[in-house]
Structure 1
Amino acid sequence: MKKIKNILLSALVIGSSGLHSYTNATEVQIQTVLGNINVALFDEATPETVDNFLLYVNSGTYANTVFHRSVPSFIVQSGGFAFNGTVPPDPIPTNPPVINEPEFSNVRGTIAMAKLGGDPNSATSQWFINLNDNSANLDVQNGGFTVFGQVIGDGMEVVDAIAALPIFSQGGVFSELPVRNFTQADANNGVAVGGDNLVIVTDIVIVNDVVDSNPDITPIENTRINPPSPPPTTGNDGGGSSGGSIPLFAVSSLFFAAVLRRFKVL
């Protein structure tokens, strides 16, 4: 009977704590010419987005891609173009778009999917890392941008190093291209940006495929796109009762109390 009681009490705790376990995460490593960035992915809360991202990872599509966009105090972006010996880089092949999953907030250190303007469900391969708290903008813009992971360890040091690089325009989508070992004097003298100047992602690999491998990550929920429901209004019956249905916790408590009485373990 003691075993039954423990099982039921554990189930009660799970039932009252919500549907998602936000600590579950596969860990990947974004390997760049400036250092490695480890990222914990939110497998359970944003499953479609993570599956889509890992499809590119496992196929090797992200190898030799570049950080093609850097916006100071905002984001650095990659996942769309590969260096194949020429500048500007070439677009990578993409899979069908993935459904939007704006569960988490675009705060500093999170990784999110880029997408087309005016189409919430248009993300394919491109992703970006938030340099600052961009939640007021990106949590609601275009249906909210899907945050699907969080940089861990000292990864933001590498991200900040990329963000600190000078930015030069190469036209089109490369108008905010971060470059290294390249100066304004070089540009003035007609020196062309080459492969040695690009911030290349040599590969992205899975370093830990255990889903609960990062129990200490603390993602912040996106409450701007899905604000919490208002509290139930007070009824007019003079007794101060609330309208609406019985809370889940109350139902769970009544149910488990009844079961425990049935087994006489209270």
Structure 2
Amino acid sequence: MHKYILLALVMCGMVCHHGAAQTVRFSTGVGEFDMVLNPTNDPNLQPLVDNLIAYVGLGRYHNVAINRAADGTAGDPSDDFVMQLGGFLAFPNAPELFAANPIAVRDLEAVTVDANGDGDVDFNTISNTRGTVSLALSAGNPNSGRSSFFVNLGNNQFLDGQGFVPFARIDNMDTVDRIMELQQVDVSADAGRPGDLTFIDVPLLDNGKIATITNVEVVESNDDFSFVGPIATALQIANRAITSEPSTLATMAALSSSAAIEPPLSSGMVDTITVSTDVYPVEAIGVSVVPEPSTAWLAVVGCLAWWRRRRS
């Protein structure tokens, strides 16, 4: 029985999540910024869009730290580089404790943009100019992008040939610029890694706490938009639904609403915007993030009701 319910869930999500650009709103302690996904409606960008939507739908961007505000000269925005987030939960949100106990966002599968593995992206992309958004990568691997992403603060076209694919755009950068104006601290020594770019430009709010994403929501989309397809793809549940019997429907619900914590990996940008693969010797802290009820869970309930009507 559960197999058919799960299959119905996957199928109803997969037929309705593609389409025109969605807009995702990120709320912070100093304002909001809206991210337009796939602003050029390029079908090649859909895996990158689905990746971010899956993290949003699973609640994994709730209470993440803005861990890098790469600022050049203080007070001079002309040489700002990038703002990076999405790699770490802001627990605890005191900067020195955050660095000493970094908790990574629970990763989904990496996004493939180089199918033949030749080191080059398989399609033409827009450039990494101010306001565009790309995934952070492990050095030299275009197929390593996961949760961590960065906002270009200037015209960083030199990143274009390194596998960084812009998949979104922020038109109003006022809030991002306000974040860049915050005090920044170097807590890399507290992390036991002096000079690690992950922790040298951490922005702080006026109360001394780390700047954090407090809420994420889809504010504009097609009428047929659903979180379910991207989540199903990211969690690779389609094949499991066909080849194995899930133990309970609660398993799916847990996957759709949990942000369980695993031992972290660094998500810092090394040299440019890379993701370090060094494992931090940090014990996982028993913290979970409970997102608002998501469209994915509502779809579970809807599909269950449909199945019951069919049975009656």
**1:208 Cα offset (Å):** 1.2
Q: How does 1:137-176 map to 2 (within 5 A)?
A: 137-141=158-162, 144-152=163-171, 154=172, 156-171=173-188, 172=196, 173-176=198-201
- Name the SS for the 1:87 alignment partner: helix
Q: Is 1:65 paired with 2:64?
A: yes
Corresponding residue of 1:87: 98
**One-letter amino acid matched to 1:201:** I
Q: Is residue 70–residue 76 contact of structure 1 (8 Å, CA) maintained in 2?
A: yes
Which stretch has the larger CA shift, 85-94 or 60-69? Answer: 85-94
Q: How does 1:1-266 map to 2 (within 5 A)?
A: 24-42=20-38, 44-72=43-71, 73-85=80-92, 86-88=97-99, 89-100=102-113, 103-135=125-157, 137-141=158-162, 144-152=163-171, 154=172, 156-171=173-188, 172=196, 173-181=198-206, 196-210=208-222
Q: Cα distance 1:126–1:211, how it changes in 2: closer, same or farther (>3 A)?
A: farther
Query: Unpaired runs of 5+ in structure 1?
Result: 1-22, 183-195, 214-266
Displaced runs of 4 or more, over 3 A: none
The Cα offsets for residues 111-136 of structure 1, whole Å up to 9 and x where unpaired, read as: 1111111111100000110111111x
**1:68 Cα offset (Å):** 0.1
Q: Distance in 2 between matches of 1:115 and 1:53?
A: 15
**One-letter amino acid matched to 1:203:** N
Which stretch has the larger CA shift, 79-88 or 120-129? Answer: 79-88
Please provide the CA RMSD for this pair: 2.2
Q: Is residue 29–residue 205 contact of structure 2 (8 Å, CA) maintained in 1?
A: no
Q: Distance in 1 between matches of 2:151 and 2:136?
A: 10
**1:181 Cα offset (Å):** 2.4
- What is the TM-score when the length of structure 2 is the normalising length? 0.52
**1:212 Cα offset (Å):** 12
- Name the SS for the 2:143 alignment partner: coil
- Name the SS for the 2:215 alignment partner: strand
Q: Distance in 2 between matches of 1:166 and 1:58?
A: 31
**One-letter amino acid matched to 2:165:** T
| Residue identity (%) | 30
The Cα offsets for residues 21-70 of structure 1, whole Å up to 9 and x where unpaired, read as: xx941111011111110111006340000001110000000000011011
Q: Number of aligned pairs?
A: 173
Q: Cα distance 1:56–1:106, how it changes in 2: closer, same or farther (>3 A)?
A: same
The Cα offsets for residues 71-114 of structure 1, whole Å up to 9 and x where unpaired, read as: 12110000000122352341111011101366221110111111
Q: Distance in 2 between matches of 1:24 and 1:58?
A: 18
Q: Distance in 2 between matches of 1:49 and 1:96?
A: 11
The Cα offsets for residues 130-151 of structure 1, whole Å up to 9 and x where unpaired, read as: 111111x11112xx31111111
Q: Is residue 115–residue 122 contact of structure 1 (8 Å, CA) maintained in 2?
A: yes
The Cα offsets for residues 171-191 of structure 1, whole Å up to 9 and x where unpaired, read as: 142122112327xxxxxxxxx
Q: Distance in 2 between matches of 1:212 and 1:163?
A: 36
**1:209 Cα offset (Å):** 1.7
Q: Distance in 2 between matches of 1:81 and 1:211?
A: 32
- What is the TM-score when the length of structure 1 is the normalising length? 0.60
